[in-house]
């Protein structure tokens, strides 16, 4: 999920406001289920760094970690006051009210994180305590969003578009805080060829492009998932003009669409950098071993030849010493079958 997806998800999750948090579970490292009860009981699944949505699935839980235990103690039966997206980023914040007010922050980018704060956004604890160049995520530290200098989509103007020879989407991605996936959609809706450089656009084309970027955050929620037959291949909170292929299916809620996508999509295994490095090292070692084996074979042949021609070589050496020769060239038989 990217930041635009979370914008639409948060709009949908307003229906959960004023519900009470019944319990927190962890189904695997970094994957959590939050059970709410109110007008209706719902479960919110969160995989740090990837997604969040309401789900009908109840995965098995793993033993309670110290972080989850703390959340249970502090937040059990607390009321959800609000859920919002921060800084048009992949950051969700749920504000709870019990005796005191707390903020639970989900960072849904990179490897992800979950940060538990007091009412002043001072960190009580973090699922992963991390220190970066511009912020620190640890107890008693003030919570700060990751730095982001790009323009929010709704503030983009024609003057912000760079005079760049980069292709339209690449140039836009350096300027506006939207993923290339949705920037392509804006360009296609503007009838602009994706291969065109930004500096080739007319003022009218730029104006149309900016308007369609704005419209991406104003669409009516109409979730759709595209399939390649059996498996879902893409999802969006609204129908996509860019999806020329794929069989679309509409859903009544974005959470339902997300659940379908994440539980039915073809599994994509990301290469493990360490494993890939080990594979390269092993391949280099095998290549070196092959060369050494070849060199060893050659050396054995030469040694066997010297052994079989020992008498001849010895006589030639004696003759060379008598002549005070500094170099000696000898010829030996390469017949290693023996006498």
At 10-33, the pLDDT tens digits run 999 999 999 999 999 999 999 999
Instruction: Tell whether 204 and 254 lie within a shared domain.
Output: yes
Q: Is 77 in the same domain as 49?
A: yes
* DSSP reduced 3-state for 108: coil
At 272 the pLDDT is: 61
Q: In this structure, what are the phi and psi dihedrals at residue 74, rounded to the nearest 5 degrees?
A: -80, -30
> Do residue 51 and residue 114 come from a single domain?
yes
Low-confidence ranges of the chain (pLDDT < 70): 266-277, 291, 293-294, 297, 303-307, 310, 326, 328, 330-339
Residue spans of beta strands (DSSP E) within the chain: 20-28, 31-37, 42-47, 51-55, 79-85, 91-97, 101-107, 113-118, 123-126, 130-131, 136-137, 224-227, 232-236, 247-250
Verify that 25 and 133 share a domain, yes or no. Answer: yes
Q: Are residues 131 and 192 in the same domain?
A: no
Q: Is residue 144 part of a domain?
A: no
Residue 11 and residue 131 share a domain: yes
Q: List CB contacts of 64: < 8 A, sequence separation 6 or more.
A: 26, 72
pTM exceeds cut of 0.95: no
In a domain, 168, yes or no: yes
Q: Is residue 113 part of a domain?
A: yes
Q: What is the CATH number of the domain that holds 61?
A: 2.30.310.10
| Token pair 């010297």: residue | 306
Residues 159, 64, single domain; the answer is no
135: left (phi over 0), alpha (psi -120 to 50) or beta: beta
In a domain, 147, yes or no: no
> 63 lies in a domain?
yes
Q: Within this chain, do residues 126 and 163 fall inside the same structural domain, yes or no?
A: no
Residue of 191, 193, 190, 200 lying closest to 161 (CA atoms): 200
Number of residues that make up the chain: 339
Whether residues 42 and 120 share a domain: the answer is yes
Q: Are 139 and 80 in contact (CB under 8 A)?
A: no
**Domain match, 210 and 228 both:** yes
**Residue 269 within a domain:** no
pLDDT score for 152: 94
Residue 82: domain span: 3-137
Amino acid 339: pLDDT: 43
Q: Is there a domain that residue 183 lies in?
A: yes
DSSP 158: G
Pair (214, 166) in one structural domain: yes
Opening angle at CA 20, ends 14 and 23, nearest 5: 115
For position 270, what pLDDT does the model report?
Answer: 52
- Do 38 and 161 share a domain, yes or no? no
Which of 137, 164, 193 lies at the terminal end of a domain, its last residue?
A: 137
What's the structural domain count of the chain?
3
Q: Does residue 331 lie within any of the structural domains?
A: no
CATH code for the domain in which residue 212 is found: 1.10.8
């Amino acid at each position: 999920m990217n930041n635009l997806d979370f914008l639409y998800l948060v709009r949908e999750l307003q229906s959960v406001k004023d519900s009470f948090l019944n319990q927190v579970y962890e189904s695997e490292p970094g994957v959590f289920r939050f059970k709410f009860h109110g007008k209706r009981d719902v479960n919110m699944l969160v995989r740090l760094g990837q997604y969040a949505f309401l789900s009908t699935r109840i995965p098995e839980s793993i033993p309670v970690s110290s972080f989850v235990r703390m959340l249970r103690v502090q937040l059990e039966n607390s009321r959800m006051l609000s859920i919002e997206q921060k800084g048009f980023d992949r950051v969700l914040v749920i504000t709870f009210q019990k005796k005191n007010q707390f903020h639970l922050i989900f960072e849904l980018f990179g490897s992800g994180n979950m940060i538990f704060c007091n009412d002043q956004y001072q960190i009580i604890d973090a699922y992963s305590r991390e220190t970066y160049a511009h912020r620190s995520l640890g107890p008693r530290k003030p919570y700060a969003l990751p730095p982001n200098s790009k323009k929010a989509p709704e503030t983009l103007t024609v003057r912000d578009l760079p005079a760049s020879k980069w292709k339209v989407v690449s140039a836009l991605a350096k300027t506006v805080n939207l993923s290339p996936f949705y920037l392509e959609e804006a360009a296609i809706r503007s009838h602009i060829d994706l291969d065109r450089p930004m500096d080739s656009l007319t003022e009218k084309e730029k104006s149309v492009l900016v308007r369609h970027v704005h419209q991406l955050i104003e669409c009516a929620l109409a979730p759709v998932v595209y399939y390649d037959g059996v498996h879902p291949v893409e999802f969006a909170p609204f129908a996509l003009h860019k999806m020329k292929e794929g069989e679309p299916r509409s859903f009544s809620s974005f959470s339902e669409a997300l659940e379908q996508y994440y539980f039915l999509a073809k599994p994509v295994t990301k290469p493990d950098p360490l494993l890939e490095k080990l594979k390269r090292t092993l391949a280099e070692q095998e290549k070196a071993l092959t060369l050494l084996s070849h060199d060893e074979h050659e050396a054995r042949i030469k040694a066997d030849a010297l052994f079989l021609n020992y008498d001849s070589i010895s006589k030639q050496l004696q003759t060379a010493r008598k002549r005070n020769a500094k170099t000696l060239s000898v010829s030996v038989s390469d017949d290693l079958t023996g006498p």
